[in-house]
Structure 1
Amino acid sequence: MDIKTASALRRLRLVSGPEAISFLLLLVASVLKRTTEFNAVPALGWIHAVLFILYVLFWADAWNRAKWTLKTAAFYFLMSVLPTGGFFADRRLKAEVEDAVIASRARAEGVVGA
């Protein structure tokens, strides 16, 4: 992987956590809306929508650059629609980014097998 691929994976990772948090907050706000007078759904809905759109855009870019298999791409997309999926995606993406950076540095230094 090159540095642009690592950057694409890093962008996806950076948005996966906040997207998951906004999803959970939206679920809590939906319950509170129906059980109390508190209604934060419109505001949290917009925040979550923007983060979800960013996640999907970054996911598509990462899929294109990292040349993921359909199974891997489907996994990361599924993580965006599960309430806590973004946390699992973040953990897995962290390992992929680290591997990509290490491989890129090894190639730059001319290490054989990188």
Structure 2
Amino acid sequence: MEITKEQILLQTIVQKAWEDTAFKQELIANPIEAIEKLTGKKVNLPNGKTIVVKDQTDDSVVYINIPAEVNMDDMELNEEQLEIVAGGGTLPPAVQGITSSLNGVELSE
């Protein structure tokens, strides 16, 4: 699987936030300005979109991000996704991270 420019940018931002507390605080307070300073490029968001940054580095807390609902009627799986569904692939790193952060978490009735 090819890594996209957006994925590389996101990894760069996260890595910088892990390494630089002042950058992390600026990213939380003013994400667009912080990203522009880091990259030297202007951030252009589609009309009506905003960026929200939450510090989720506290490993004693399990964070759940609820994404926008996907219209499954318009969704088509690529070959890699079909392999995962069929049991022949591996979960993406982001999902692996979520599942590993849930280790030890139990639900009780």
TM class, shorter-length: under 0.3
Q: Please give the TM-score of this superposition, normalised by the length of structure 1.
A: 0.25
TM-score of the aligned structures, taking structure 2 as reference length: 0.26
- Please identify which structure carries the higher helix content: 1
Q: Which has the higher contact order (CA 8 A, sep 6+)?
A: 1
